C-alpha cells in the first residue's frame, strides 16, 4: 500500500530523473561532445509526384545517445532551443551536411536543394546570414541550392533582426519555406510582407485525405492560396497512394513522406538517388 509520502517521493524521483536527463543532454550540447556521442543527421527526399523525380531533401537531426539511447528530435531540439545550445547544434549539423554536399557536388551532375530547419533563436543572431553564406561558399554550395524551413511563430514575425536575416538570405537566392503550414496562429496577412517563397502543408491535413471533406477543402484552399500568391507548395507526411493522387489532382505534386521514402542515412541516400547522376 502506498502512503501519500511514497507518492510524493516517487514523484520527486521522476522529477529528478527528468532533470538529470536534461542536464546530460545540455552538457553534451554545450561541451560540443554530442557529435562524438551519437549525434548525426538523416535526409528525407522531396519528390515530384508526377514523375517521381527528386527535387530536394530535408535534413533531420538524430541522436543515438550512448547512455540515454535514441533521443527524439522533439526532445533534444526543445532542450537545445531553451538552453541556447541550438547554436552549437545547428553549426555542427550544417558543417557535417555542407561538407557532404560539397563532396556530392564533386561527384554528381546536380545535387538536390537542401532544406534545413531553423529556429527563432538562431535567426536572432546578427551573424546568422554572414556565417551561413561563408559556410555555403566554403563548400561550393550555391545559395539557390539552400532552403530554410521556419515555423509560423510570433517571434519570427515581429523581430526586426529575424526579418533582416531572412531578407538577406532570400536576396542571396535561398528559399524561405514556412513549415507546418496551417497549424500556427499567425493569421495569413504576414504572407504578403514577410519574406516567404514556399509553404509546406502540415502532415495533419494530409492524414485526413479521404477521411474528412473539411480537411480536403482546406487543402484545396491552401494550394489555391499558394498559387495566387506565387508561392511554391509542398505537402509533408504523404504516406499513401490515395493521398498522393489527391494532392497531384489538387495541384500540389511536390511531396515528402513515407510513401516515397523515409529519412535516409546520407550514404544510403547517395547510393539510391545520386549514384546514377555522375558528373
Ligand atoms: P518537421 O520539421 O515537421 O519534420 C518532419 C517530421 O515528419 C520528421 O520527424 C520526419 O521524420 C517525419 N515524417 C516524414 N515523413 C513522414 C510520414 O510520411 N509520416 C509520418 N508520420 N512522419 C513523417 P522527425 O525527424 O522526428 O523530426 C521531428 C521534428 O523535430 C521536425 O519536424 C523538426 O521540427 C524537428 N527537427 C528535427 N531535426 C531538426 C534540426 O536539425 N533542427 C531543428 N531546428 N529542428 C529539427
Ligand atoms: Ca521541417
Ligand atoms: Ca513540418
Ligand atoms: Ca512538424
Tens digits of per-residue pLDDT, 173-226? 999 999 999 988 777 888 988 999 999 999 999 999 999 999 999 999 999 999
Nearest-angstrom CA–CA distance, 247 and 70: 33
Secondary structure of residue 58 in the 3-state scheme: strand
Q: What is the CA radius of gyration of the chain?
A: 20
| CA geometry: angle 8, 14, 15, nearest 5 deg | 90
- Which of 7-11, 68-72, 110-114, 164-168 has the weakest average pLDDT? 7-11
Nearest-angstrom CA–CA distance, 17 and 1: 23
Nearest-angstrom CA–CA distance, 79 and 90: 13
Q: Is the ipTM of this complex over 0.95?
A: yes
Nearest-angstrom CA–CA distance, 87 and 125: 9
Determine the distance separating the centroid of ligand 4 and the alpha carbon of 221, expressed in angstroms. Answer: 20
The helices-and-strands tally (H runs, E runs) of the chain is: 12, 9
Tens digits of residue pLDDT in 256-277: 999 999 999 999 999 999 998 7
Question: Nearest residue CA, atom 6 of ligand 1?
Answer: 237
Task: Please check the confidence at residue 153 and state whether its pLDDT lies above 90.
Answer: no
Number of other residues whose CB lies within 10 A of the CB of residue 138: 12
Site residues for ligand 1, CB cut-off 6 Å:
44, 60-61, 73-74, 77, 93, 117, 119, 179-180, 203, 236-239, 257-258, 263
Cβ neighbors of 199 (< 8 A, separation 6 or more) are 177, 178, 181, 222, 226, 231, 232, 233, 234
Residue 269's nearest CA partner among 77, 57, 116, 82 is: 57
The DSSP 8-state label assigned to residue 278 in this structure reads B
Three cell numbers written together for 204: 495533419
Mutate to test the pocket of ligand 1, among 58, 60, 122 (most ligand atoms within 8 A of CB): 60
Determine the distance separating the centroid of ligand 3 and the alpha carbon of 53, expressed in angstroms. Answer: 21
Tens digits of residue pLDDT in 95-123: 999 999 999 999 998 899 999 999 999 99
Find the helix or strand (DSSP H, E) in which 205 lies: helix 203-206
Residue 121's nearest CA partner among 146, 170, 85, 167 is: 85
* Ligand 1 nearest-atom number relative to CA 259: 18
Mutate to test the pocket of ligand 1, among 58, 97, 117, 120 (most ligand atoms within 8 A of CB): 117
Nearest-angstrom CA–CA distance, 47 and 243: 14
Ligand nearest to the CA of 256: 1
Our measurement of the distance from residue 234's CA atom to the centroid of its chain's CA atoms, rounded to an integer in Å, reads 13
Mutate to test the pocket of ligand 1, among 29, 73, 156 (most ligand atoms within 8 A of CB): 73
Amino acid at each position: 500500500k502506498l502512503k501519500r509520502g511514497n507518492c510524493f517521493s516517487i514523484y520527486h524521483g521522476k522529477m529528478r530523473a527528468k532533470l538529470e536527463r536534461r542536464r546530460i543532454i545540455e552538457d553534451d550540447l554545450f561541451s560540443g561532445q554530442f557529435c562524438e556521442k551519437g549525434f548525426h543527421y538523416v535526409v528525407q527526399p522531396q519528390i515530384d509526384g508526377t514523375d517521381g523525380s527528386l527535387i530536394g531533401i530535408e535534413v533531420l537531426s538524430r541522436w543515438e545517445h550512448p547512455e540515454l539511447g535514441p533521443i527524439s528530435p522533439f526532445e533534444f531540439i526543445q532542450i537545445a532551443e531553451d538552453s541556447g545550445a541550438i547554436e552549437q547544434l545547428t553549426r555542427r549539423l550544417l558543417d557535417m551536411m555542407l561538407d557532404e554536399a560539397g563532396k556530392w557536388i564533386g561527384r554528381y551532375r546536380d545535387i538536390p536543394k537542401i532544406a534545413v530547419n531553423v529556429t527563432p533563436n538562431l535567426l536572432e543572431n546578427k551573424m546568422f546570414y554572414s556565417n551561413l553564406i561563408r559556410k555555403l561558399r566554403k563548400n561550393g554550395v550555391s545559395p539557390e541550392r539552400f532552403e530554410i524551413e521556419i515555423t509560423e511563430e510570433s517571434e519570427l514575425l515581429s523581430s526586426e533582426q529575424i526579418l533582416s536575416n531572412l531578407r538577406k538570405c532570400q536576396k542571396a537566392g535561398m528559399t524561405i519555406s514556412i513549415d507546418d503550414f496551417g497549424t500556427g496562429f499567425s493569421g495569413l496577412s504576414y504572407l504578403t510582407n514577410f519574406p516567404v517563397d514556399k509553404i509546406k502543408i502540415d502532415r495533419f491535413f494530409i492524414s485526413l485525405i479521404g477521411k474528412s471533406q473539411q480537411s480536403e477543402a482546406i487543402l484545396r484552399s491552401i494550394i489555391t492560396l499558394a498559387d495566387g500568391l506565387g508561392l511554391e507548395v509542398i505537402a509533408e507526411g504523404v504516406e499513401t497512394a490515395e493521398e498522393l493522387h489527391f494532392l497531384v489532382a489538387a495541384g500540389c505534386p511536390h511531396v515528402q513522406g513515407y510513401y516515397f521514402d523515409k529519412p535516409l542515412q546520407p550514404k544510403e541516400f547517395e547510393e539510391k538517388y545520386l549514384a546514377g547522376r555522375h558528373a
